[in-house]
Amino acid sequence: MTQPHEFDPQLLSEVAALPAMPGVYRYFDAEGGVLYVGKARNLKKRVTSYFQKNHGGTRIGLMVTRIVRMETTVVRSEAEALLLENNLIKTLHPRFNILFRDDKSYPYLKLTAAQIPERAAEKSTAQLPAAAFPRMAYYRGAIEKKHHYFGPYPSAWAVKESILLLQKVFRLRTCEDTVFNNRTRPCLLYQIKRCTAPCVGHISAEQYAMDTANAQRFLRGQTQDIVTELERKMQHHAELLEFEQAAELRNQIAALSNILHQQSMEIGGDKDVDILAVKVHGGKACVNLAMVRGGRHLGDRPYFPSHVQDATEMAALDAELAEAVPQDASESDLSADATLPAAPEIATEAATEAMAEAAPSAAPAAKPVKLKAPKSVESLILEAFIAQHYIDVLVPPTLVCCAPVDKDLIRALSAQTGVRISAIHQPREQRRIWLEMAQKNADLQLARLLAEQGSQQARTRALAEALELPTDKLDLLRIECFDVSHTAGEATQASCVVFHDHKMQSAEYRRYNIDGITPGDDYAAMRQVLLRRYTKLAEAARNNEAKLPDLVLIDGGKGQVSMAREVFEELGLDLGLIAGVEKGEGRKVGLEELVFADGREKVYLGKDSAALMLIAQIRDEAHRFAITGMRARRAKVRVGGSKLEDIAGIGPKKRANLLQRFGGIRGVTSASAEDIATVEGISKELSEEIYRALH
């Protein structure tokens, strides 16, 4: 029989002092890593339960034995606890929670707000500035209240498809303000009937405003209202014998009707709905999120959570503890000297009485609790996704789910957003069709992920075997690759990309601006980046405070490798870590050879080698990362690092005033919006626009 784990007396005394209030708790290991974040209606009862049960040799038991420190936060309600819990999960990335990490924000369709200048009535339409005519645009980033945003959309393609539809029906402009303000004749979009050419006065500001309003109503799903209103206006023009205007409206109605007919299979009674389907297989999971906005199915987007297996077991235990410990039971005190009984289950009256006798408190025994059926893995994953995803994203009023979710979670989201949200399980009719589509896509996406991961793991093993690296812990194999990029010596940048856990780790990529060398000297650039990368890391590794990579790839042949060898000898590092990727004969792909710094012979892995495929993948990623950084830096140097010329309202005089006041574009970029507003001719609104453009 497994003996109960001995916990630190200080930790047990902290548990004993917890209040019987709602809150969030965090468990930490000896290295300071976050093990688990959980919420509780009653902190004292929930946390105490973890230390009163022997979990044996399970992974959860291992987690509990690793707890050396605890932090708690008391809140006012369980709903607040739920929201705080998932904010902390997204921030701390605990090992035993289901994690949904996605650094990409959702794209939106943006309609700029009309800004009518003073005394606009005295000007002709062609004299009005671009700001007077709202513009449609694909947008990703922070939302400004003065503009209109529709979405979010699952992909850039979905936004662009919606813009195309609006161009066909309402013919709103998509051009930049600088293009608009400098047009003297209509562009091609006017010729193909995708724009009404407000830039040259071919449509009045009033009519354009009506088209903009109709476009907004279309995006909100009010399509039938638009058709009815357009038909009424068409009849009115026909009665007045204004046949040209009536024909224009007829064409607009026909285009709108054609689009609605094409989407008739997609449009249901709902306007804004998210459909959530989960597939779990092979220790992995996929949540497929399909979006319906304005009654139109916009497509879907897959999410792959981390730590599924450990997290679902931990969540199941958490739910068990929540149900097993009666909320109205008397509190049992814990002291540093208390012996914690190992209670295998708290589901029977005898077990409840035994626990009450073992506790120091003389409180009466709690009544037996009938446990609810455990939640399915799909439900636990869905709840984690909903709680973490909708913290940062607007939640629609209806969620269609493939598995039941906690009603408390939905109530908490409703309270947070101020919108009444319903989560529907086992839907009917159109919703059922949407859910079946989402479930099918989840199956396909998970199958693709498993196939890709299997292939990537095979490549990692092949490389480790080819280079005689350890193969017992391939997940920990770490490779760093360096490349240098410049244009004739201008704007030299070096890149470092990182591969471990069988995939590229973009969050660990680094770029280095190379200065103080002869332009075009790649060897000096490589020396500088390696010194900057490994000088501190080598010292930390000697003190066992950091780990060096298992392999350092250099994009280059003997010359680059020789420079890397000098740096590693200077830093006292193992030369066996270095390998150069040398181009083969004729620089043909697949003929690359590996050059080593420790004197080993060159190695040709073979054109179809899985190891060479992995090396090529890492090398190409380093090259891509270096080139994009170099191009951005070069563009910044050449154009002064700004888009002052492209900002509406900034002419030569104001631009000169800005550059003179702040000593150049770097000074303008460093200035705050308030500082920019102090420049002659720059209003507060224009200063904010300049600040946004430069940042």
Q: Give tens-digit pLDDT for 202-261.
A: 888 888 998 898 888 888 877 777 777 778 778 877 888 878 778 877 777 776 666 554
The 10s digit of each residue's pLDDT in 71-112 is 999 988 777 788 788 888 888 888 888 888 665 678 888 999
- Are both 210 and 283 inside the same structural domain? no
Least confident window among 413-417, 532-536, 553-557? 413-417
| Residue 466 maps to a domain | no
**Residues 585-618: pLDDT tens digits?**
655 666 788 889 888 888 888 877 888 889 988 9
In a domain, 460, yes or no: no
% of the chain exceeding 90 in pLDDT: 14
| pTM > 0.85: yes or no | no
> Above pLDDT 70, what percent of the chain?
81
Residue 356 has pLDDT above 50, yes or no: no
State the sign of the Cα–Cα–Cα–Cα dihedral 408, 414, 420, 422.
Answer: negative
Separation CA 660–CA 268 (nearest Å): 59
Which of these three, 637, 663, 680, is where a domain ends? Answer: 637
For the chain, give percent helix, strand, coil, nearest 5: 45, 15, 35
93/99 Cα distance (integer angstroms) = 7
Q: What amino acid is encoded at 71 in this protein? A: E
29 and 149 belong to one structural domain: no
Provide the residue range defining the domain that includes 668: 640-694
* CATH number for the domain that contains residue 45: 3.40.1440.10
Ranges 59-63, 112-116, 322-326, 659-663, most confident: 112-116
> What is the C-alpha separation between 651 and 290, in angstroms, rounded?
45
Task: Answer yes or no: is pLDDT of 4 > 70.
Answer: no
Max Cα–Cα distance, the chain, nearest Å: 97
CATH of the domain at 431: 3.30.420.340
Are 633 and 644 members of one domain? Answer: no
Residue 452 placed within a domain: no
Same domain, 611 and 629: yes
Residue 690, token pair as written in the block: 């300049």
Total tally of structural domains belonging to the chain: 5
d(CA 583, CA 593): 7
668 plus 631 within the same structural domain: no
- Distance between CA 524 and CA 303 in Å, rounded? 43
pLDDT number for residue 440: 92
Among 373-382, 654-663, 668-677, whose mean pLDDT is lowest?
654-663
CB 187 within 8 Å of CB 215: no
Same domain, 617 and 481: yes
The more confidently predicted of residues 19 and 313 is: 19
364 occurs within a structural domain: no
pLDDT in tens, 272-303: 899 999 998 877 899 999 988 877 788 888 99
Whether residues 153 and 199 fall in one domain: yes
In a domain, 129, yes or no: yes
Domain membership flag for residue 312: no
